[in-house]
Amino acid sequence: MNVAIIGQYGGLIVHGILLTIALGVLGFLGAMVVGTAMAVCRISPIPPLRGLGAGYVEVFRNIPLLSLLILMVFGLPDAGVELSLFWSAVVAIVLSSGAFVCETVRSGINAVGIGQIEASRAIGMSFGQVIRFVVLPQALFTMIQPLTNIFIGTMLGSSLAAAIGLDELTNVTQQINVLTAEAVLTFLLAGLVYLLICLLIGFGGGWLDRHVRASVGAGARR
C-alpha cells in the first residue's frame, strides 16, 4: 500500500469529508424539523392532519434513500424545480430520515402520561401549548438515544449521494481508487473516517442523555 497517496490527495479527501459532514448535519437538522412537525400532525385532534402525518411516514419510510436521491436529481427539474446536486441530496435525506424522526418523536410523546395532558387542557392550555410546554420537554430525554441512532444512520446514508455524482467522501474515495488502484487503502481510510464521525456522534448523544437525565433527577429532588 502506498500511503503517500493520502498526502497527495489530501485536499480532495478533506473536501469529501467536509461535504459528508455537511450532508449529514443539514439532513438531520432538516429531518428533526420535518419529523417533529409530522409527529405533531400524527397526534393532532384534526383528522386531515393525522392522515397527512401517517401518509408521510408510510411513503418515505418505505422508499429507499437511493431511489429518493435519483428522483430528486432527475424528477425535480421535470417539475420545474432546479436544485444543485448538494441540495437535492439534502432534501432526499431530510424526507427519508424525517419519517423515522417522526415515529421516534411520536413514541416519546406517547410516553408522557395522558393525565398530564388532560390536566393541561383542563386549565385552558391550547393543543399547541400542551405540546410545546408540557409534552415535548418531558419526552425529550426518552428520545435522545433513538435520535442519536438516526443521526448516525443519516451520516452513513449520505454515502449514497455518491450515486448521483456528489463529491462526498465515498465518491472521492472511488475517484482516488480509479487514479491509484489502491482500493484497500482508500476504502479503509474512508471507513475509518466514517467510524470516527459516528463514534463522535454516539459519544455526544450519550453525554447529552446523561446530562438531561441528571438535570431531570436534580429537579425531581428539589
Kindly report the pTM of this predicted structure. 0.88
Q: Which three cell numbers, joined as nine digits, stand for 191?
A: 471507513
Lowest model confidence (mean pLDDT) among 12-16, 137-141, 159-163, 207-211: 137-141
State how many domains the chain has.
1
d(CA 60, CA 58) in angstroms, rounded, equals: 6
pLDDT tens, position by position, 74-127: 888 888 888 999 999 999 999 999 999 999 998 888 877 677 777 887 887 877
Q: At residue 169, does pLDDT exceed 60?
A: yes
Q: Which domain holds residue 160?
A: 4-221
3-state secondary structure 39-71: HHHHCCCCHHHHHHHHHHHHHHCCCCHHHHHHH
Q: What is the CATH number of the domain that holds 208?
A: 1.10.3720.10
d(CA 101, CA 147) in angstroms, rounded, equals: 7
pLDDT tens, position by position, 141-161: 788 999 999 999 999 999 999
Residue 8 vs residue 55, higher pLDDT:
55
Burial 108-145 (b: 16+ CB within 10 A, else e): bbeebeeeebeebeeeebebeebbeebbbeebbbbbbe
